[in-house]
Amino acid sequence: MPPDPRRDPLPMSSLTALTDATFEEEINSSDQPVLVDFWAEWCGPCKLIAPILEELATEYDGRLRIVKVDVDESPDVARRYEIMSIPTLVVFHDGVAKKRMIGAKGKGQLVQELAEFL
């Protein structure tokens, strides 16, 4: 059956998806801070913030990188960073987790929380 766009409002994301295999390398090699969105397909609030993160990725281009980790597909990374609730957003800088934000938030609040990394 072809995908029904009505049933999957956000079929594609332009954000890079990191996995158990690629996570360390990507986070450690980035010279920009990296915001990681831990999410999963079944999580309603995750879907609500996805378009906001896409917007921010464009607005912060060159200053802050935004990537995604599907906790279902990459359980090791999720476990290593003790993710117990999604969405959880973690900002990494120089390979180190600097800030953790739990739960969906509106764009205005995210912009405020991320200001220190820009």
Partner 1 sequence: MADPRDVVIIGSGPAGHTAALYTARANLNPLVLEGEPSSTSDQPGGQLMLTTDVENFPGFVDGVQGPELMTIFKEQAARFGAEYITVKASKVDFSVRPFTVWADDEEHRARAVIVATGARSLMLGLESERRLLGYGLSTCATCDGFFHRGENIAVVGGGDSAVEEAIFLTRFAEKVTVVHRRDQLRASKIMQDRAFANDKIDFRWSAVVDEVLGDGKVSGVRLRDVTSGELSDLPVTGVFVAIGHVPNTDIFRGQIDMDENGYINTHEGTRTNVEGVFAAGDVQDHVYRQAITAAGSGCMAAIDAERWLESQPKTPTNW
Q: Which residues bind partner 1 (CB under 8 A)?
A: 6-7, 9, 40, 42-49, 52, 71-72, 78, 82-88, 102-109
- Cβ closer to partner 1: 72 or 94? 72
- Residue 49 CB, shortest distance to partner 1, in Å, is 5
| Nearer to partner 1 among residue 19 and residue 85 (C-beta) | 85
Question: Given the complex with partner 1, which of 31 and 82 has the nearer CB atom?
Answer: 82
In angstroms, what is the minimal distance from the CB of 13 to partner 1? 16
Which are the catalytic amino acids? Answer: 43, 46
Least CB distance from residue 73 to partner 1, whole Å?
Answer: 12
In DSSP notation, the chain reads ----TTT-S-----SEEE-TTTHHHHHHH-SS-EEEEEE-TT-HHHHHHHHHHHHHHHHTTTT-EEEEEETTT-HHHHHHTT--SSSEEEEEETTEEEEEEES---HHHHHHHHGGG-
